[in-house]
Amino acid sequence: MGYPIINFYAHDTNGVKQTFRWYPSEYLFLDSDGKKYCLAADQNTNSHEVLFGSTLMRQNNIIFDVANKMIGMARATCNDEETMIVSE
């Protein structure tokens, strides 16, 4: 039994539903004690929001288009990390 792949869904500029996959090797990290894995997310104390940081962006190319209020994402293919998942 393994950990699940977390799927995020969003519609692109053409209205087509796209899937963004977050793999366990990206959302889990080994704690400094080396005994447990932790979720790489943090709850915003002022709301019900959950914050995802660099682990979500680590193996993806992301463009922030502030002027048009858009974000572009594409799976990176040039990452040298041992945990990089190129295909399933």
For 6-75, CATH number?
2.40.70
Task: Please give the pLDDT value at position 50.
Answer: 74
Q: What is the pTM of this model?
A: 0.68
Task: Please check whether residue 8 is in contact with residue 17, taking contact to mean a CB–CB distance below 8 angstroms.
Answer: no
Task: Please give the pLDDT value at position 83.
Answer: 67
In angstroms, the first-to-last Cα distance of the chain is 16
Average pLDDT of the chain to the nearest whole number: 82
CA–CA separation, 37 and 20 (whole Å): 22
Task: Please check whether residue 27 is in contact with residue 40, taking contact to mean a CB–CB distance below 8 angstroms.
Answer: yes
Question: How confident is residue 84, by pLDDT bands cut at 50, 70 and 90?
Answer: low
User: What is the pairing mode between strands 60-65 and 70-75?
Assistant: antiparallel
**Residue 67 above 90 pLDDT?**
yes
Question: What ranges do the domains of the chain cover?
Answer: 6-75
